[in-house]
Amino acid sequence: MEQGSGARSLRGPPEPDTTIVTVRLKPDTSYAIVKNSRETREILDKLEAQHPDADTELHYTTPFELLVATILSAQSTDARVNLVTPALFKRYPDARALANARLPELEKQILSTGFYRAKSRSLVGMATALAEKHGGEVPASMDALVELPGVGRKTANVVLGHALGVPGLPVDRHVLRVANRIGIAESDDPVVVEQQLCAAMPMDRWTRTSDTLILHGRRICRPRPLCDQCAVRDDCDYFEHVISRVRDGKAPKVKRSLAKKKKKTRGSPTVRKARR
């Protein structure tokens, strides 16, 4: 959620040929008030009931495999990563094997996940550090994990919470969007949102909270949200102050712009541009 005293973008990236609605809110009419712990827990109860299968969608059998898969998932999809990792894990079953990988060969294996050159260097660097400093094992410590090449706080929390039994609350773009929209957090900074959610939720629910918000963001609270399918619509600040007001025609100063299709005219040299 963007902050500032000017216009606030209250919808996700526009799709082609759609009406874009921008609602301008004065600073003193902002609804950005974070809900208290009791309200946040009640909201997560409802979301967990709606998404009882919430869990990481990356396939793994060891902490090392999950660490590799999570690094590969940056700017990619879990489904794409899951297509690549079976052969990758067979070729490099542990940190020592991956540390000895030849970059050109590794790049070919992970090519489809995107940013394969940077990811290859991160994977080999991470594996080398594990072999040299941690006996080839993945450390169960945030401080130790974030010192590994290619490992940030989000990746560390994924591995800690899912593979090492250490409570962690990963914050990705879905968690940022959903938590800010509902009003259970208020920040563009993933670390701040992590702190706010951790303060509101019991430690043993941290990982589950992240999984649930991620899945809700993928299935329901997308950039163009499916509010009619949301279990917490009545608790959601975004729905109350934006969606419902737009539907009721009560939104203040609504600016509309329509993305128009460019039609190819007979005899005209203009060529219709592909929609992005």
Which CATH class, in words, describes the domain spanning 63-163? mainly alpha
pLDDT of residue 218: 97
Phi, then psi, of 258 in degrees rounded to 5: -110, 125
Residue 172: active-site member? yes
pLDDT of residue 248: 73
Average pLDDT value for the chain? 85
Say whether 44 sits in a helix, a strand or coil. Answer: helix
Helix ranges (H only) for the chain are: 37-50, 63-72, 78-91, 95-99, 103-109, 116-133, 142-145, 153-163, 173-182, 190-200, 206-219, 237-238, 244-247
Mean pLDDT along residues 168-196: 98
Residue 273: active-site member? no
pLDDT in tens, 110-129: 999 999 999 999 999 999 99
Report the percentage of the chain scoring pLDDT > 90: 76
Q: Whole-model pTM?
A: 0.79
User: Of 35, 119, 154, 211, which is the active-site residue?
Assistant: 154
Residue entry with tokens 């609602």: 23
pLDDT in tens, 2-34: 334 333 333 333 333 333 333 333 333 345 589
Mean pLDDT along residues 179-196: 98
pLDDT of residue 250: 66
Residue 240 DSSP class: I
pLDDT of residue 217: 98
Q: Do domains 19-54+171-255 and 63-163 have the same CATH topology?
A: no
Mean pLDDT check: name the lowest of 59-63, 110-114, 229-233, 272-276.
Answer: 272-276
Residue 271 DSSP class: P
pLDDT of residue 72: 98
Mean pLDDT check: name the lowest of 29-33, 41-45, 217-221, 270-274.
Answer: 270-274
Give yes or no for a contact between 209 and 43, defined as CB atoms under 8 angstroms apart: no
The count of C-alpha atoms lying within 13 angstroms of the C-alpha of 20, restricted to the half-sphere facing its C-beta, is 13
pLDDT in tens, 68-89: 999 999 999 999 999 999 999 9
Is the domain spanning 19-54+171-255 CATH 1.10.1670.10? The answer is yes
Residue 135 has pLDDT above 80, yes or no: yes
Residue 111 DSSP class: G
Find, among 92, 181, 93, the residue nearest to 103 by Cα: 92
pLDDT of residue 117: 98
User: Of 45, 78, 94, 172, which is the active-site residue?
Assistant: 172
What CA–CA distance (Å, rounded) separates 86 from 60? 9
* Domain boundaries, given as residue ranges, for the chain: 19-54+171-255, 63-163
Mean pLDDT along residues 226-252: 88
pLDDT of residue 11: 38
Which residues face 22 on adjacent strands? 255
